[in-house]
Amino acid sequence: MKMNRLWIVVLFIWASSCGSKDDTSQQLPYQDTSLPAEERATDLVSRMTLEEKIAQMRYEAPAIERLGVPAYNWWNECLHGVGRAGVATVFPQAIGMASSWNAPLMHEIATVISDEARAKHHKFAEQEMRGIYMGLTFWTPNINIFRDPRWGRGQETYGEDPYLTGELAVNFIKGLQGDDEKYFKTIATAKHYAVHNGPEPIRHSFNAEVSEQDLWETYLPHFRKTIAEANVQSVMCAYNAFREEPCCGSDTLLTNILREQFGFDGYVVSDCWAINDFYEKGDHEVVDTPEQAATMAVKSGTDLNCGDTYPALVQAVEQGLITEEEIDVAVIRLFKARFQLGMFDDPKDVPFSKINYEVVGSEEHHEMALQSSQEALVLLKNENNMLPLSKDLKSIAVIGPNAHDHQVMLGNYHGTPTQLKTVLEGIKDKLSDEVAINYAEGSYIVEDFPTMKPIPAKALTPAGDVNGKGLKAEYYQNADFSGEPVETKVDTLIDFYWYGRSPITDIEADTFAIRWSGTITPPKSGTYQFGFNAAHGAKVSFNGEEQFEFYNEHHPSTNTFEADLEEGKTYPIVIEYYNNGTDPQAHLLWAIPDEDLETPAIEAAKNSDLVVMVMGLHPRIEGEEMGVKLAGFEGGDRTDIKLPEIQKELIQKISSLGKPIVLVMMGGSAVAFNWANQNVPAILYSWYPGEMGGEAIADVLFGDANPSGRLPVTFYKSVDDLPDFTNYDMENRTYKFFTGEVLYPFGHGLSYSQFAYDSLQIPTSPDAEGNVTVNVEVTNTGEWEGMEVVQLYVKDDSASFRVPQRTLGAFKKINLEAGATEMVSFTLSEKDYAMVNEEGMLTIEPGSFTISVGGKQPGFEGLADAKTSGVVTGSFMVKGSPQIIQ
């Protein structure tokens, strides 16, 4: 009875404090909004039981009603737009945003994303919805260095250079976290810390070994930058081990470097189920039990568990492995973050709570997405100024497996757009009705990987006595199919995006279920591939047998099966789909066997004045830990970087017709399209360009936008030119150390205008503070207004240890009207031109330093040379004795 009375008193005090902001006489310290967040967090945690504390250390944190603590799910994504939470503006994939080389634009994009994040969070909270993808703590950005093009998750990064990555990440994080003095708008997470970038299939057991020089020159500086310059409040530790310590249990990484050297004061979250790897067979196996694993992670500094290991901390305390005081440290960090987000304060006092839900997917945000997509596009080649194309055409062929595919526009970790356009749709909208547009898919992305398409209504017959074509659809209010259906009808096409709302109640992320039933009649005999793509879960039975049942609360996924069918025969199918998540969608797909895709493509090209071929990669075959094994692809990674042979052959056959060809390449990583590079006159690389990508590509193709993207990675000619994928040494990797012949260099990109560089001014030596100020005149000598990325590279000519061939030291994107000149100025501090020695120390040695400034790297010839830009070079001297500045 005594404890019950205490609960009543606490609840009364909490209710009183919420009812009157000014009456603070009855407030407990954690309810006092005038106190610092850490002090409030410390007080709140002191009132919890051990079991309550430990429960808060898992990503699905339950409510503590007696203390007024609501449930909270820490898991949320916003890699290039709020992800997996229904409708959101979808920007280009991260590698595409990096191709803009526009740091201020990154801040604007992140501001849009955080506006939508806040609006969505408060909308969910109003409906007492606190599940996954509904919070304010985002596991973004991915700032791992894209050291090898084979890594499938490289698309999530900002490229291969630590400086470029750091500059873009700082701006993105600031846009996410906001600039209020008291509250964070959202909390960003720099991941995956550290020395992490594939291979995907062995990430749970792999141990990364690198030298001190590579560690501090390549793998850590951008993490330090996000802490020092952006005050990032969360860091996610990686799956792999580093020097035999799992990253999420590494004293070296988490304690010695992150907190002691970098001064990080936020919280660390594990990658999902990474701590299980500490003890599970076949993975790291550094301990024997979940109790030992949880202890190791918490003592090293991992505060939050995405996974299911931390409940074992209760037994770990009982076993004497860890103390409650050590657990308190982690829990206080977590609640400090929630207080800093304003989650326990009156919404009227939190400025970001006032953002209206109408901003989500608004026209203003679509305009920002369009600009971002335009600036992400990299014009690699434009022989004889073939681009831009004239709109005065009689006919045009649009050919390729990526020409009219919605998923390829989005990449991974994305939301649900409302205005998505494919390349085909963008071109159609650009041209008049008098222009004949001949479309053909042409080929698969890769051999033995057919394109899955929605099953048409003509092949579907509903169950029972229902008339029409399609499948009988029974809609249930509850996800467990309980009760009677609230609606029964025929759905002609099972290809639904419900844009974050229930199709029954029109409520955001409501629970519901649908049972589709009927028969499928194939148009021809052969082996069909079937797929069902859904967010959350489904069970599919075909021809009387259950094919699969899956549950996935984390993101939409496609499950597949094969079946040998006879033409004209009917086959029963039942699909039970249920939704409890934030992004309801359902797609019944198939691939018809032995389709002749090539003949229609050749005919389309023959009947057209020119051809736009849309080829490349696809997010279904490159990405995170995927169940894919195909020629050139395995587990989400690539085993070869060349363009798949089936696509190369199609390009060759279309080229043999003698028609003018423009090649639009899509993908999340560098591709060695060597034959096309020599034989196709114009090549545009578009990455996964986002919801406005189709319009942006059409804008550039037809001259309504001037391309300004630059490569954030090196395009190599062959995987044979690269070291083994598992070798993390930087020798012969990236623009800094690769000594072979490239297809296209880091920083490459063409414009429809031309930019000349002149009047380079460099002092003979640094000033008294060690700074070097560099000035250069940039002139747009062409006839188009355009944007130029001014790139400054530094080379230490006199170092006594290994240094890069050149290092990006500064960059700036400028816009110049035709004929205009701008003086661009950079000030390099000592840290900007110092080099990392063998001991990992940032060092300046006396001697000569070469500076090159231009719209590209110097020294390349042929197609690898961006002829629409210039480069000027100079040098300065450092005198005196060697000095360590870090």
First-to-last alpha carbon distance for the chain, in angstroms, is 61
| Helices 324-340 + 37-46 axis angle, to 10 | 130
Written as six digits, the tokens of 511 are 């629970």
Q: Check: CB of residue 814 under 8 Å from CB of residue 751.
A: no
Q: How far apart are CA 55 and CA 753, in angstroms?
A: 59
Residues 6+ apart with CB under 8 A from 749: 99, 378, 379, 380, 707, 708, 709, 710, 711, 789, 855, 856, 866
**Tokens found for residue 129:** 């919805």
- Which residues, other chains included, contact 711 with Cβ-Cβ below 8 Å and sequence gap of 6+? 99, 159, 378, 685, 744, 745, 746, 747, 748, 749
Q: 693-701 vs 423-430: helix axis angle to the nearest 10?
A: 50
Give the position of tokens 């389309």: 604
* 8 A C-beta contact, residue 746 and residue 758: no
DSSP labels for 553-574? EEEEEEEEEEEEE-TT--EEEE
How far is residue 556's CA from residue 66's CA, in Å, rounded to a whole number? 36
**β 234-237/189-193 pair status:** parallel
864 touches 748 (CB < 8 A)? yes
**CA torsion, points 810, 816, 821, 824, in degrees to nearest 10?**
-20
Q: How many CB atoms lie within 10 A of CB 763?
A: 13
Q: How far is CA 303 from the centre of its chain?
A: 24
Measured distance CA(551)–CA(312) in Å, rounded: 25
- Geometric angle at alpha carbon 747, from 746 and 750, rounded to 5°: 125
Nearest to 664 by CA among 429, 409, 444, 436: 409
Question: Cα-Cα-Cα-Cα dihedral of 860, 863, 864, 870, to 10°?
Answer: 60
Phi, psi torsion values for 115, nearest 5 degrees: -60, -50
Give the residue numbers annotated as catalytic, written as ranges: 271, 622
Instruction: Identify whether 199 is preceded by a cis peptide bond (ω within 30 of 0).
Output: yes
Question: What are the DSSP calls for 101-143, one per residue?
Answer: --HHHHHHHHHHHHHHHHHHHHHHHHTT---TT-SSB----B-
The angle at the Cα of 312, spanning 311 to 317, to the nearest 5 degrees, equals 110
**Residues paired with 533 in a beta bridge:** 558, 587
Alpha carbon distance 843, 837 (integer Å): 6
Quick one: CA dihedral 308, 411, 616, 560, positive or negative?
positive
- For residue 388, say if its preceding peptide bond is cis, omega within 30 degrees of 0: yes
DSSP state of 846: S
CA distance 633 to 642: 11
Residue 545: partners with Cβ closer than 8 Å, 6 or more residues away: none
